Structure formats: structure tokens, C-alpha cells
Structure 1
Amino acid sequence: MKRIAFLNSRGDVGQTTLVYHLAHMLVDQGHRVLLLDLDPQSGLTAMCLTEEQIEELWSDPRSEGRTIYDAVRPLVAATGDLRNPHIEELREGLALVPGDVGLYAFEETLSDAWIRALHGDAHAFRALSAFHRIIALAAEQHRPDVVLLDVGRGLGANSRAALLAADFVVTPLAPDVYSLQGLHNVAVTLFEWRDHWSVRRDRSPDPDLDLPLGPMKPLGYIVMQAVMRLSNPVRAYEKWVALIPTVFHRSVLRDEPPASLHEDPWCLGIMRHYQSLMPLAQDAWKPMFHLKPADGAIGAHMEAVLRCREDFERLSSSILARADELSGQAP
């Protein structure tokens, strides 16, 4: 089982849309996929479920363990350990642990736990390992080959706990100065989190508690939403696209960059801006590459659907191949 987290400190680069479509493509290719919505804004849940379904999950006072926050609620209240997480079956082979705006309340618990773990506090380790253990519990129900974690923007305590639970980290990047500066900040922070967790992990007082190793291995980056002309980004983006390998290699990998993005094995893909396809997909409640003429995808739209499918087929294959390649390497 591969656990892959998606993180961009800036936000607004299309990360949630990327995770949603990648999950469906992996299922199309025969893999079982589990989604975790670890963003308190719950955008992935909103893409997967109707408003009526979300309202039922969030507002039913009789429900327990219906969202990711319900699963960690006893840790927030300091009344116990995790509840067994609820999963929503979206289609054969694809399931979701739904998000919850209440997850913001877990941030303070996790921030405090990070400090108290240095002193061997048992409750702190239960909190810091919560997302890792939720994956294990949900996997017993769904048996996934791949787990995709949609991590909220920023580098707060929720993001840290999410990345502790991940084997690999993928960074979606917009070709602009903000994403590149954010990439540098992410790289510095990941090194610190990984090193600091190693120190804390050895201080757990409970040898039976399932703690994450927290490898946080970089898997690569994806260039997002570049407007394309003849399969190449237009000139307005060329400067920033050209700089991405340099920043990624020097900040994240701490080595020398390749000559160009197209020669960089850490570039997992360059994703187009699919423009008018997304509204059609939202109306049809399906991924863009599943659109049919009956959904309004006719003429040029249908050509874009086919290009979209090709792009996500390449991307999913690239991600899995890279994960297989890096699985045996030290962090």
C-alpha cells in the first residue's frame, strides 16, 4: 500500500481537483484507492459528495465517526482514543474518509502534542499518530493499493500530522513566483519535521502504539494549469516553468538541477488548464475524462476530454512508477 500526500503551501493551484481526478484514473487502471480529505476546508469531500450527503454527515447528532473529525474527536476532548473511521464508497474500488470543517479544532491539540511528545506524553503520541492510524483502520475496510491524502494549504500542525502518515509527498506547483517561494519553505520545513519526529518517536512510552515512521520522501512535482500551445506552456509562464527544476533540486533534493524540466525525472507531469471541461464535469458529477456527448462534451470538448484522459493516464503511471523506484531508498 502506497500512501501519497499532496501538499502545496500556497493553495489555489488545483490540488484538490488533481487528487480527485488522479484517484478516478487509478481506479480506471485497476487499482483500489482510498482518499483522505485532511483539508479542513473539505474541498475533496465537496467534489465527491452532494450537499445533501455532506449535510447528513456533518449535522446528524446521532452520528459518530462519520467524518475525519468525528474519528479524532475523543483526542480533542481528551476523553479517549480514535473512533473507527467511517468510509464512503464512491464507486467500485474507490472510497473516501470524508473531511470536516471541524478539523480546525484538531490543530490546537496537535500543536500542543508536538511539544508534549518531547516529554514522553502518551496522549500526545496518540494525537500525532492519529491520521496514520486512521489510514490503517480504513485500509482494513477498503483494502486499498494506493492511499491519496489531500493536505490543506499551509504548514500548520494538521499538515504536519498528515505528512507524518505519508510515505511520499507530491508537490503541485503553479508556474509563478509564489509557488516557487512556497516550495522553498516547504522543503526547509519537511527536513525539520522529519528530523524532529525522529527524536520524538524514540520517546513514546507505549511500545504497542502504532507510530508512523514519517519518511516524507519527496516523490516529485507536478506543474499545474499552464495554458498550453502545441503541448508547451505559453511564453508568460516559460520563465517560471524553467526555474522549477532548479528550485526543486536545490531546495528539496539538495543537489544540482538538470538542464531542463523535460530532462528532470522528478517532474511527474505538466497538467493543462482544461478550461470549460471542469464546469461540465461538475454538473455531471464525474471526472473530466469520463464526460460523454450526453454530458455536453461535443466537438472540441470531446477532443479535450481525450487529451485529459491521456494526460492523467501518463501522470498516474508516472507517480506509481516513481513510488516503486523510490520505495527501497532511504529518506
Structure 2
Amino acid sequence: MKSIAVINQKGGVGKTTVTANLGHALAQHGKHVTLIDLDPQGQLSASLGLFRPPKQGIDEVMLNAASIESVSVSTREGLMLVPAGANLGDVEKQSAEGVQRALLLQKGMQRSGSDKDYLLIDCPPSSGLLMANAIMAVDEVLIPVTGDYLGLNGLAHLLATLKQFERLRHRPLGRRVLLSRLVARRRLSKEVVGKLKNHFPGKIMATAVREAAVLAECPGVGRTIFEYRPGSVSAKEFTALAVDLIEGRMMS
């Protein structure tokens, strides 16, 4: 099983959109995928059509040692969802000492079965204990970055945070960058892409996800792009992105 946290401390970069649609794309390629909604706001659950998700979810795994399987919900063929749960915000209040507070999710994943090909975690736009748990638990992070200089500044801050946690992990943390919400015709976007290529050679996903109104509309109807506009450019991009992930394709 490959575990990936979709992460960026900056909001508005498309983390939830990426998690939902990439997860569904992987499932359409025959992979067994589990998505974890690690944001107390529960946006991932709504994006998959669970506008009233179960009250128990990943909060029970982290706070009460429940199994991931016991709180998983089947949403599409090959695609399971672990909702946030009503008490996920309480994780930030944990009184355990030191690094143990950041290992709650890792321990829950270690108790999980091995029948999954991919586990994707939709992280909150913050640098608190929930994000720390995701970083400590996964094999790698996928960082959506927008084509502007604020996106670059946010990335530098995040990479510094990842380095700090990597020392505590005692194992490498893979990093991939995804160009998200890209407006390809903007000169600024081209400049930012150029800088990213220089600073992160071999780490940028081959397929970029461009800004599109249809992607913004999908969560409101609880559908992925493959259900809402299956013939759209965005659907083709997420299909290609899934292949990138499976085959390890990166931007040259």
C-alpha cells in the first residue's frame, strides 16, 4: 500500500479537489483506494456526496483506537472513504506528551488491513497536530501548488516544516509537487513553473491540473469530475495524473 498526504498549509490550492478526483481516477484504473478526510470541516465527504456523513470516522481511529475498516464507507467501486467524524477537532486537544501526539494516525494505519493499493489523506489548511499526524504516517506527500508567487512562498514554508518532521520519522519522506489550478496562458504562471522546475527537478507531476469552472461545481452536487463532466479536459487531466502516479511519471 502506498500512503500519500495531499498537503499544503495554504488554503485554496485544490487539496480536496485533488484528493477526491485523483482517488476516483485511481479506482477507475482498477486500484483499491481509501480516502481519509482529515479536515474537521468534512469537505472531502461532501465532495463525494456524503452531505450528512456518519458521526464516527477517522476521529474514532485516532481517539479511541477503532479500526479504519470499521469507520470506512463505500462510495464508488474500488473507492472507500473514512469521513472526518464529529470529534476530529478534539485531536488538537490531546494531552499525550511529545511526539506521541503526532503518531495517532500512524498507529491507526498500522492496525489497518493490507488490501489497499493507495491511501490518500486530505489534510486541513493548517500546521497543527492533524497535519503533523499525516506527515508522520505516510510514505510521501503530494503538494498542490498554484501558479503564483504566493504559492511559491507557501511551498518554501511547508518544505521547512517537512524537514523538521522528517528528523522525527527516522525514515525518508517522499515529496511530489502538483501544479494545481493552473492558468497556463498567464506569463506569471509560466515563470512560476520555470522556477519550480529549477528547484524541484524530477519532483513535479507530469500532468498539471488547470483551473476550470467544472471542478469548482463538482462538490456542490457531490460528484467527481468523472460523474459530472466525464468528457471534460479536467477529467482527462485527472486520468493522466493517476497514470503519472502509478507509473512514476514526472515533468521533464
Paired residues of 2:49 and 2:221 also in contact (CA < 8 A): no
The one-letter amino acid of 1:32's match is H
> Measured at CA, do residues 282 and 189 of structure 1 come closer, stay the same or move farther in structure 2, by a change above 3 Å?
closer
User: Given that residues 58 and 84 in structure 2 are in contact (C-alpha distance below 8 angstroms), is that contact kept between their aligned partners in structure 1?
Assistant: yes
SS in 1 for 2:87: helix
Q: How many residues align?
A: 246
Q: Is the 8 A contact 1:175 1:224 kept in 2?
A: yes
Give TM-score scaled by structure 1 length: 0.68
Residues 2 and 187 of structure 1, relative CA distance in 2, 3 Å threshold = same
Quote how far apart the aligned CAs of 1:277 are: 5.3
Equivalent residue in structure 1 for 2:127, among 109, 130, 155 = 155
Counterpart residue type for residue 241 of structure 2: L
Find the aligned partners of 1:136 and 1:5 in 2 and give their Cα distance: 16
Alpha-carbon shift at residue 276 of structure 1 (Å): 3.7
Which of 1 and 2 has higher RCO (CA within 8 Å, sep 6+)?
A: 2
Query: In structure 2, what is the Cα distance between the partners aligned to 1:217 and 1:310?
Result: 26
Give the structure 1 partner of residue 83 of structure 2: 98
Which of the residues 98, 107, 123 maps onto 1:133? 107
1:321 lines up with 2:247 in the alignment:
yes
Q: Hey, which of these two has a bigger chunk of helix by percent?
A: 1
2:141 to 169, 178, 183: 169
1:270 shift after superposition: 1.2
Unaligned 5+ segments in structure 1 are: 59-65, 75-81, 118-123, 199-213, 250-263, 292-296, 324-331
2:58 to 54, 58, 68: 68
Conserved in 2, the CA contact under 8 Å of 1:173 and 1:180? yes
Aligned-pair Cα RMSD in Å: 2.3
Q: Which has the larger radius of gyration?
A: 1
Aligned to 2:8: 8
**In the TM superposition, what is the alpha-carbon distance from 1:50 to its structure 2 partner?**
3.0
Which residue, out of 208, 224, 236, partners 2:180?
Answer: 224
Native 8 Å contact 1:22 1:316 kept in 2: yes
**Which residue identity does 1:222 align to in structure 2?**
L
Instruction: Give the TM-score normalised by structure 2.
Output: 0.87
Show CA shifts across 1:206-236 (max 9, x none): xxxxxxxx53221x211111224xxxx3224
Work out whether 1:237 is the aligned partner of 2:227.
Answer: no
Match for 1:289: what amino acid?
F
The answer to whether the 8 A contact 2:47-2:220 is kept is no
| Cα drift, residue 283 of structure 1 | 5.6
Give the direction of change, closer, same or farther, for the CA distance of 1:189–1:278 in structure 2 (3 Å limit): closer
| Contact 2:59–2:84 (8 Å) recurs in 1 | yes
Cα deviation, residue 129, structure 1: 2.6
Q: How does 1:299-318 map to 2 (within 5 A)?
A: 305-318=231-244
Structure 2: how far apart are the matches of 1:14 and 1:187?
18
Amino acid in structure 2 at the alignment position of 1:33: V
Q: Cα distance, 1:266 vs. partner?
A: 1.9
